[in-house]
Structure 1
Amino acid sequence: MPTKPPIAKPPIGRDTQLCMSLSGRPGNAGSRLHNRLYELLGLDYVYKSFTTRDLAAAIGGIRALGIRGCAISMPFKEDVIPLLDTIEASAAAIDSVNTIVNDDGVLSGHNTDYTAVRDLVAARGLDPAMPFLLRGSGGMAKAVTAALRDSGFAHGTIIARNAQAGQALAAQYGYEWRADLPETGAALLVNVTPLGMEGADAEALAYPPDFIADCRAAFDVVAQPARTPFIRAAEAAGKTAISGAEVIVLQAVEQFVLYTGIRPDAAAIADAASFAHGPQVGELMSAIMQGKGQ
């Protein structure tokens, strides 16, 4: 996937804009993607990932230090809301923030997860007639559930051991709720939990092998690693498999636009996706961006 040679990027100095991410389990993929785009476009920005044990202090630091933008990941997407000055419609609709933009000390909360999932569902041709199971009930689960509902998926079940959160999420979007997995699966299986994520849950399979064997499509929002045990099992069974790396690239591009005011072209996005997540994801992003007319 050829790209134009990178534009000369200014050396880091006092005018360099800093962007960052806050996550319970920070990785390198987001930093690699954003910094690659800065390099390709010659922008005087730097991106760094962080975690924190003091969310309020971290958000105060964003404001006080003039950090331009911050990506918010699990488990902070809901807890961050009262710490911000304004909440944009994209985040207010689902009570979940995954992006902070700092405009001269005024912090606004946005959500680019919803748009990314909605666009990905369409780009990968998922049939909205398929019933689905969705594991999870947190901020990202809200974004995915809303995107599925707005994409025409009428029949689904939220699987969440947190009864209060699971029931509320299911009721909000007109789906069923269960605390545990049913005896049989569904045509579309969606994982919005840390199962399969790098760390303590790395070897966990989000759904039983018989569920995967009987499904038509598997969708995992875990991005680190891109190919979780769930995704690998679905690919081995010949199913449509959508990885969290695809979601994170699409939502990161929208964050990039919010931070810089610049929308990269399809070639730059594919290049950065390949640099951050590997050539398979880069090729998928190239096809998706071309399908969107970018």
Structure 2
Amino acid sequence: MSAKPPIGPSTRLCMSLAGRPGKFGSRFHNRLYELTGLDYIYKAFTTRDLPAAIGGIRALGIRGCAVSMPFKEAVIPLLDHIEGSAAAIDSVNTIVNDDGWLTGYNTDYSAVLDLLDHAEIAPSTPFLLAGSGGMAKAVSAALRNRGHRAGMVIARNAATGRALAELYGFDWAATADGLTAPLIINATPVGMTGGAEAENLAFPPAAIEAAETVFDVVALPIETPLMRAAEKAGRKRISGADVAVLQALEQFVLYTGVHPSEEQVKDAAVFARSG
């Protein structure tokens, strides 16, 4: 492990913006800074004035910013350029500041794609996807680009749910009641620590029992009600903690240009989850 320099005038700041800031990103990034000896520090924030917050990133030379709900779409008009998948799905979860030029990326998309590939889920697999926000867009794009065609977007908001389903060629339903599929994915805040529905299941028990694979993008807690129910049913699980590690690692590389070792990433992931 290289010695991390003490905080000083040359220390670079990275940050996150979220409606409900968590600890995972801060612990993951700061641990990797320690392990790699980088003169960086990472801090989580929230805001009620998004334009002012983005202006502060630009004016103060903050190197990078992770973006979480509810800012992933609202941040787009405030940036100078949108890259690749972020432009395709109109959702940004990462901002990189190059001398005042702010570029938006979406590392959620690539993380979801990698996890679906690693789980060897066939593109012919039908799915139910709960959600119609920024994360649901990333998941929908990953599914569509893997070749999935038989899918249903589940969203109580008919306007956003129908729009997302139509954008990617899927069906829409207001609820998952009576619906089943081999793959079910939660891309809503249901089950998230501190949320209004922290103890709720994102899918009915019958849908969980009928599934082969259960995927929950909620990272905190690691064991959401949906993940616990999937384990009890003996189903294959993909957790939001897996998404969090992969997308945060890509952010780390974008901010620093450094590719940490596999051992360093594992260490940082364990550290982040233990806090």
User: What TM-score bracket applies, with the shorter chain setting the length?
Assistant: over 0.9
CA shift digits 1:255-294 (9 cap, x unpaired): 001100111121111111111125xxxxxxxxxxxxxxxx
Q: 2:206 maps to what in 1?
A: 210
Q: Tell me which of 163, 174, 182 is aligned to 1:179.
A: 174
Structure 2: which amino acid aligns with 1:268? Answer: Q
- SS of the equivalent of 1:14 reads coil
Instruction: Give the Å deviation of 1:148.
Output: 1.0
What is the CA–CA distance in structure 1 between the aligned matches of 2:132 and 2:85, rounded to whole Å?
18
- TM-score of the pair, normalised by structure 1: 0.91
User: What displacement does 1:60 show?
Assistant: 0.8
The percent of aligned pairs where both chains have the same amino acid is 66
* 1:222 aligned to which of 218, 225, 234: 218
Deviation string, structure 1 residues 137-171 (Cα, Å, up to 9, x no partner): 11111000110111222210001122221111111
Name segments (4+ residues, structure 1) moved above 3 Å. Answer: none
The answer on whether the counterparts of 2:177 and 2:204 sit within 8 Å (CA) in structure 1 is no
Name 2:259's counterpart in structure 1.
263
* CA distance in structure 2 between the aligned counterparts of 1:18 and 1:39, rounded to whole angstroms: 14
Q: Distance in 2 between matches of 1:215 and 1:174?
A: 22
Q: CA deviation at 1:225?
A: 0.7
Q: Within 5 A, what are the aligned runs for 1:39-54?
A: 39-54=34-49
Task: Work out which of the residue numbers 52, 69, 79 in structure 1 matches 2:74.
Answer: 79
Structure 2: runs of 5+ lacking an equivalent:
none
Given that residues 176 and 204 in structure 2 are in contact (C-alpha distance below 8 angstroms), is that contact kept between their aligned partners in structure 1?
no
Q: Is 1:111 aligned to 2:113, yes or no?
A: no
Provide the rounded CA distance (Å) in 1 between the counterparts of 2:46 and 2:197: 18
Q: Tell me what 1:201 maps to.
A: 197
Q: Which residue of 1 aligns with 2:22?
A: 27
> Does residue 251 in structure 1 map to residue 259 in structure 2?
no
Give, as a single letter, the amino acid of the residue that structure 1 aligns with 2:122: D
Which residue in 1 is equivalent to 2:271? 275
Q: For 1:149-160, what aligned pairs fall within 5 Å after superposition? A: 149-160=144-155
- One-letter amino acid of the counterpart of residue 91, structure 1: A
Instruction: For 1:90 and 1:207, locate their aligned partners in 2 and report how far apart those are by CA, in whole Å.
Output: 28
164-173 vs 6-15, which deviates more? 164-173
**Paired positions, count:** 274
Secondary structure of the structure 2 residue equivalent to 1:93? helix
Q: How does 1:125-164 map to 2 (within 5 A)?
A: 125-164=120-159
Distance (Å, rounded) in 1 between the aligned partners of 2:160 and 2:260 = 37
| Cα distance between partner residues in 2 of 1:209 and 1:163 | 23
- 1:63-117 deviation per Cα after TM superposition (whole angstroms, max 9, x unaligned): 1111000000011000000011111122101100000000111111111111110
User: AA paired with 1:250?
Assistant: L
Q: For 2:18 and 2:204, how far apart are their aligned partners in 1?
A: 28
* Structure 1 gap segments, 5+ residues each: 1-5, 279-294
Q: TM-score, normalised by structure 2?
A: 0.97
Deviations 1:228-266 (A, max 9, x none): 000011011110111111001101111001100111121
Selected match of 1:234 from 230, 233, 236: 230
Residue 182 (structure 1) shift: 3.8
